[in-house]
Amino acid sequence: NGIRKKMTNKINYIGLFSGGKDSLTMCHYMYKKGVMNEVIYCHTGVGLNEEYVKEVCQNFNWKLNIVSPAPFEYETFVQRYGFPRPTSHSWIMQRLKLNPIRKWYNKEKHKRDIIFLSGIRISESNRRRMNFGKKDNLKKLTGMTFAKPILIWSNDKVKEYIKTYNLKISPIYDILGLGGDCLCGAFTKKEHAPILKVKFPILAERFIELEKNCRGTWGQYQPLQSCNRNEDDGVLCSDCMIGDKK
């Protein structure tokens, strides 16, 4: 395939490691193949995986590059356009992830040839199936090249891989039922808000302040500031989101 054709000693493969199950699986898979030992993580300001990412990278001796958007980029977006929704998700991701990666890449591209490795999969969601074809495993985007080594992997194959290699997944999955890489709110469900408020009050308070001063609400349901649930309820409710776990 296209990835194998480009596997030469001149190419540096950089894993996009968000801390989610798919990016963990992809990075470890390419690491085991001897292709990748360096990753990049985006500190979006609305994620919960940074310490976990650092731990994994230390365990496997992966070089970790951490990039960040401009200060208060999320707040600036919400103040101008309202909270992210599915229709504006790609827009907020460009600001929180793509722009910082591109800035890092522009500094590195003169030193070495780089291909970024993404853990995106078409089985992940209907939206992904619509946006990517089964053979669409190499893509150029704003001058950067992205490869998708596990594009056609099924959910079961990812689960089996994690089990086979006894990979530690992010503890955020057990709390929120999702990876916690980016909690911009575009695809959150009703159950996420009260758990976030109880378990991660500092981040929740940021969203609540934005709800008070900006248009709309975090997530697609009731305002975060109106959610009330005691801690025991929040823990038990995390099982309601089992369908979100991959």
115 touches 146 (CB < 8 A): yes
Question: Tokens at residue 186, please?
Answer: 């575009």
Q: Mind listing the pLDDT tens digit for each residue in 31-69?
A: 999 999 999 999 999 999 999 999 999 999 999 999 999
Q: Of 31-35, 49-53, 227-231, 239-243, where does mean pLDDT reach its minimum?
A: 239-243
Q: How far apart are CA 178 and CA 124, in angstroms?
A: 12
Whether 129 shows a pLDDT value over 50: the answer reads no
- Laid out side by side, the sheet with 63-67 consists of 63-67, 36-42, 11-16, 113-117, 144-147, 138-141
DSSP codes joined into one string, 59-123: HHT-EEEEE--STTHHHHHHHHH-S--GGGHHHHHIIIIIHHHHHHHHHHTTTSEEEEE----TT
Q: Which residue has the higher pLDDT, 211 or 215?
A: 211
End-to-end CA distance of the chain: 26
- When pLDDT is cut at 50, 70 and 90, the band that residue 128 belongs to is very low
pLDDT at 223: 73
91: which strand partners?
none
pLDDT at 193: 87
pLDDT at 221: 65
Upper half-sphere CA count for residue 190 (Cβ side, 13 Å): 3
Q: How far apart are CA 205 and CA 92, in angstroms?
A: 20
Q: How far apart are CA 103 and CA 153, in angstroms?
A: 30
Q: Mind listing the pLDDT tens digit for each residue in 78-113?
A: 999 999 998 899 999 999 999 999 999 999 999 999
Whether 218 shows a pLDDT value over 80: the answer reads yes
Count Cβ atoms below 10 Å from residue 200 Cβ, excluding itself: 18
Whether 157 shows a pLDDT value over 90: the answer reads yes
Q: Mind listing the pLDDT tens digit for each residue in 169-187?
A: 999 999 988 888 889 999 8
pTM for the model stands at 0.83
Find the mean pLDDT for residues 14-18.
Answer: 97
pLDDT at 228: 58
Angle at 127 between CA 125 and CA 128, to 5 degrees: 70
pLDDT at 33: 96
Find the mean pLDDT for residues 210-214.
Answer: 91
